[in-house]
Structures are given as structure tokens and as C-alpha cells.
A and B are shown apart, each in its own frame.
Chain A
Amino acid sequence: MKSRLQIVAASATAAAAALTVGLSACGGSNSNSADNSDAANLVKNSATASTDLTSTHFVLTADGKIPSLSVDKVEGDLQNKPAVLGSGSVNATVGNAQNGQWVFIDGHMYSNLLTGKYIDYGPGTAIYNVNNLFDANKGIPGVLNNMTNLHEQGSETIAGQNTEKISGTVPASYASNLSGMTIGQGKDKNAPVPITVWIQKTGDHELVQVQSAPVDNSTLQLTFSDWGKPVTATKPAVSNPPALPGGTELKKK
């Protein structure tokens, strides 16, 4: 049985596909009709807000088997400027489902997920790449600045925020940044990928929620709140596993 998220994603996909067909017949632009000029403005304003973002609380939830993710929930407080840092919790979906903590500081993510000891996960792709989440090109700003085929889907209250729900498409290269998926050799990095955003109708027009389907039968959702709230993080005592023989080496090219 499909979850509510899957149904929402499927609906968004269908709506975006229909809009793509319509646009290709009339030359298409950033908004598909005069009625959606408000959507274009909201997305533009939200892109600016996300570019200027200093900090936020975020909740990532993943539904379905997304090949790039070992987790189904990552939550935490994240500072974007002047430097990326933050901390929070994470739930594993592969292996034995367990909860853990993560800390991102000085360009490295540390987590005690599954091993019980804080391990250096470098940029953090092994857990989730929070370092790029609000990167101007690789993160949310890039998604919003490159979102086309916009279509208003009505008002919704998300996390206590009065939002406008807007569906559209984004080049695969930008959508993949949210899930950590690789667009491999020979794949079209500009292929339109359906995406849905929920943007504050008033105020700074912060992005409250974004949802995509990285692969069939999956949903990736990010929800944001507490914009501008001060964030602190302290590097934990790191206990990397001892380097043991028995693995396989491959020199970099």
C-alpha cells in the first residue's frame, strides 16, 4: 500500500509531466501561465532567502530504497554562515535500524551511528551531505534558482507555517544534490525531474519544505524551521576504527 508521501510524490510527478507537455507546445518559460507569476516570484524570493540563510532546523525523511542513502531520517540544527556547522540525530535504515548522533564541524561530519563511537565521515556523504545543503550552487539555492514549469498547487500549513505549494521541475543535476545520487556517464544531467516546494506566503518567503522522488517508489523530503536561530556544535571525541589489513586498495587517478 502506498504511503501518503508516495501518493503526494506521484501526484506531483503527474502534474509536472502534464505541465511539461503543455509547455513544450507553447515555448515554455519559468512560469507556465500568467496565473503562475506569483509562483515564479515566490520561488525567486525563496531562492534569495535560502542563499542568505544563516541557520535553520531541518528534518530529512526518506521513504523507499534510495541507493545513495543509508538513513531514513536526519534531523538537526544547521548553521550555514559564516561556516557550516551543526548537530543532530540520525536513523539508519540499512543493516540494523538504529539511532545515532551526528556533529558537523570544521568541514567534517562525525557520527556514532551503528558503531557507537564517533567516526570521521569526512564531508559527510556517508550520513548526509549537510555541508552542501545550502551551498549556493549544489544545495537548496541551486534547486530554487533552476526550478521551471512552475505551477501553484494551493495553500497548505506546514510545520505551523502558512505556505504556498508549488510544483515544477529541476534539472537532474540539481535534484541529485539533495539525495546524493550520482548522474553517471551518458546520463542527461539536464533531464527534468519533478519537484515540489512549500514556501512561506509572507515574511521572508523561506523554503519550508521540499519533496522529490530520487528513484521510483521513493520520496525524499526536507522540512525547515527556526531560521536564523543560533547554532553551536562541539567536536566529539573521535575514535576512528584502527586501520586493519584485509581490504582492497585502489589508487586515485
Chain B
Amino acid sequence: MTKYTQRQKTLGRAAVGVFAASLVAGGISVATAPTASAYGMYHGAIAVSPSTGSWGRSWDYDTTGQANNEALSQCGYNDCEVLAQFANGCGALAESDSAYGGGAAADLYSAESRALGQAGGGYIVTWVCTSGHD
């Protein structure tokens, strides 16, 4: 899979829309809900540092940019990268012996499936959902 770069961070942020989608955009696993829910449009993200294993998460932010920035801030290292971003949905981070995998979907189980698929197995390191989703 594509490694996430600074340029792709920008592309990935721009790729999040309010239409039904679950795709990889700009190297990031992205999920959006079909319509704004009773909770409004809430954004979340998960970032990880591949050199330290430190991770950070965010949820219930108004914009993708805010969610990404918060996840990167909580992750806390220069090499932290966003692996999953989602709007009105869930994200998960998986870890195997060789890689981290990020997944995003409208529900947690599907997000975890994608994360494990990209990590090549392993286990779930962390997950998060925006309000009203599981």
C-alpha cells in the first residue's frame, strides 16, 4: 500500500466528503456516512508513529483537518502519520510483526477488518468511533 506523505495528508483531508463512501484516498483509509446523522457530521482520525508505536486518536471534531491534527498531536512524534480518517463512522489501528494497518468504515467491525487486512493479521491496537456509531 501507499505510504502516507505530507502531500497525501492534504489530499486525504480534501477527499472526505458527505457522500456515501468507504475508500482509500490519498493513501489513507477513509470512511464517510451517507447522510448527516442526528449527531451532525463528526470527524475522527487515528495516527501512529512507525518508529515508536505511539498512537493518537481523535473523534467528534467538526472537520477532517481538526481531527487529523488532534490525532497527530496525541501521537506525539515527528514520524506520526494518519492511517485512518472517518466521518460519522469508526476507525481502527492494527499491528502485526511487520506493519501497522489503518481501517475506516461506517461500523467498528468493518474498520477493524480493514485494519487487520492491511497489517497482515495481528491484533487491534486501538479504535475509536464518532458519537452514535459502533
Binding site for B on A (CB under 8 A): 67-68, 70, 92, 94-96, 98, 108, 114-115, 117, 119-122, 125-126, 181-185, 187, 240-253
Chain A residue nearest to B112 (CB atoms) is A241
Binding site for A on B (CB under 8 A): 1-4, 22-24, 27-29, 48, 50-51, 54-60, 70, 73-79, 81, 83-84, 90, 95, 98-105, 108-110, 112-134
Q: Mostly helix, strand, loop or mixed at chain A's interface?
A: loop
Q: Are A95 and B109 in contact (CB-based, < 8 A)?
A: no
A-B contact pairs, 13 of them (CB 8 A): A95-B128, A95-B129, A120-B123, A121-B123, A125-B125, A182-B55, A182-B75, A241-B109, A242-B117, A243-B120, A245-B117, A248-B101, A249-B1
Q: Given A68-B74, A126-B124, is A96 in contact with B59 using a C-beta cutoff of 8 Å?
A: no
Q: Are B50 and A253 in contact (CB-based, < 8 A)?
A: yes
Q: Given A182-B75, A184-B75, is A115 in contact with B102 using a C-beta cutoff of 8 Å?
A: no
How many inter-chain contacts with C-beta < 8 Å in the A-B complex?
164
Query: Bound complex: CA of A242 vs CA of B121, how far in Å?
Result: 9
Q: Are A95 and B116 in contact (CB-based, < 8 A)?
A: no
Q: Which of A182, A187, A244 contacts B117 (CB 8 A)?
A: A244
Residues of B within 8 A of A119 (CB): 112, 124
Residues of B within 8 A of A185 (CB): 76-78
Chain A residue nearest to B108 (CB atoms) is A114
Q: Given A119-B112, A185-B76, A250-B102, is A96 in contact with B118 using a C-beta cutoff of 8 Å?
A: no
Query: Bound complex: CA of A83 vs CA of B9, how far in Å?
Result: 43
Residues of B within 8 A of A184 (CB): 54, 73-77
Q: Are B133 and A96 in contact (CB-based, < 8 A)?
A: yes
Residues of B within 8 A of A68 (CB): 57, 74
Residues of B within 8 A of A243 (CB): 113, 116-117, 120-121
Residues of A within 8 A of B119 (CB): 247, 249
Q: Are B100 and A250 in contact (CB-based, < 8 A)?
A: yes
Q: Are B23 and A246 in contact (CB-based, < 8 A)?
A: yes
The smallest C-beta distance from B61 to any residue of chain A, in angstroms, reads 11
Q: Are A95 and B108 in contact (CB-based, < 8 A)?
A: yes
Query: Bound complex: CA of A110 vs CA of B41, how far in Å?
Result: 31
Q: Given A96-B134, A122-B123, is A248 in contact with B129 using a C-beta cutoff of 8 Å?
A: no
Q: Are B99 and A251 in contact (CB-based, < 8 A)?
A: yes
